Amino acid sequence: MKKILSVLAVSAFALTASVVFAGGPGKTKDAGCPEECQQQIDSLNSSQAQQNEQLGAHGKQLENHEGRITTLEKDAYDPWYGRIGVRAAWMTQDINVPTGSRTEADSEVGFGGALAFGRQFGQFRGELEVAGQQTDLDDFSAANITWDGEVRVLTVMANGYYEIPVAKNCAVYGMIGLGYANYDVTVDRTIPGPRLQVRDDDDNLFAYKAGVGMSYNFTENMSGDLGYEYLGVADTDVADDINGHNVVLSFRYKY
């Protein structure tokens, strides 16, 4: 009996060992499992690669959107700026000479300059400007006497501009301004007799202006303007119908 049990035990051990070394029970049934698993792994890797590509594309779109948002925010609100300008100026006015007659007196082309400080809000910008100009009067006749002189105008004005883009870095603009002018006119008698200064008056008056021009952005912070401005000044005891004309060249720097 012991011998039989020993033989059975040895047989069972041998059978178990053969099954273990053969890969365990059911190996023949599951022989195709690794290939199926590999296919699933390949499919998952491919899906992951596609998702990575989509994520990369979405990332680029987000970068583009962020850039556009930044541009729109900058267009909607830009920083403070300073402006310096030079101008060619000429004027027309009717002057009341000492003889009691009022005569139209034009001026030669003079010069002037301006300093301004303002802020940009998208296509609109507002500023406070201090400007001055000086022109010599052309010779004019009244009561058989020849006269000439000089006109000096100092203005302090609040200006508003509206820009319309027309090309890359380029825009056209319209502007208006309201404020104060110090109008100073000197009248000299030249013929006949020796030259004689007969009038030197100045007044503080209401003034306004309007103009058009073109702007060009050289860089993100630096811009240039070229335009025409009409300047109107209220009447004085010495002169009325005072009209100024200016061709203005300016440089702006944004902070």
Residue ranges covered by each domain of the chain: 1-26, 32-76, 78-254
Q: Residue 169, by phi and psi: left (phi above 0), alpha (psi -120 to 50) or beta? A: left
Q: How far apart are CA 205 and CA 234, in angstroms?
A: 6
Under CATH, what is the fold of the domain 78-254?
Answer: Porin (2.40.160)
**Residue 69 burial by Cβ neighbours in a 10 Å radius (0-12, 13-18, 19+):** exposed
Amino acid code (one letter) for 187: V
Residue 84 has pLDDT above 50, yes or no: yes
Once rounded to an integer, what is the mean pLDDT over residues 81-102?
A: 88
Residues 36-79 have pLDDT tens digits of 777 778 788 888 888 888 888 878 888 877 767 666 555 555 68
Average pLDDT of the chain to the nearest whole number: 82
Structure tokens at 245: 């004309």
Structure tokens at 207: 């003034």
pLDDT band, very low/low/confident/very high, at 244 (cuts 50, 70, 90): very high
Residues 119-167 have pLDDT tens digits of 998 899 999 999 999 999 998 887 778 888 899 999 999 999 999 999 9
pLDDT band, very low/low/confident/very high, at 17 (cuts 50, 70, 90): very low
Lowest mean pLDDT among 153-157, 198-202, 228-232: 198-202
Is the alpha carbon torsion for 125, 163, 157, 255 positive or negative?
Answer: positive
pTM above 0.75, yes or no: no
Q: How far apart are CA 229 and CA 206, in angstroms?
A: 16
Closest CA to 127 of 117, 137, 112: 117
Residue 1 has pLDDT above 70, yes or no: no
Q: End-to-end distance of the chain based on CA atoms, in angstroms?
A: 108
Q: Cite the beta strand spans of 42-169 per DSSP E.
A: 80-96, 102-106, 110-121, 124-142, 145-167
Do 143 and 175 form a contact (C-beta atoms < 8 A)? no
Helix (H) or strand (E) holding 231: strand 222-233
Residue 18 has pLDDT above 70, yes or no: no
Q: How far apart are CA 247 and CA 79, in angstroms?
A: 26
Closest CA to 243 of 208, 203, 202: 208
User: Residues 6 or more apart from 142 whose CB is under 8 A from it?
Assistant: 97, 99, 101, 103
pLDDT band, very low/low/confident/very high, at 197 (cuts 50, 70, 90): low
User: Residues 6 or more apart from 82 whose CB is under 8 A from it?
Assistant: 115, 116, 117, 252, 253, 255
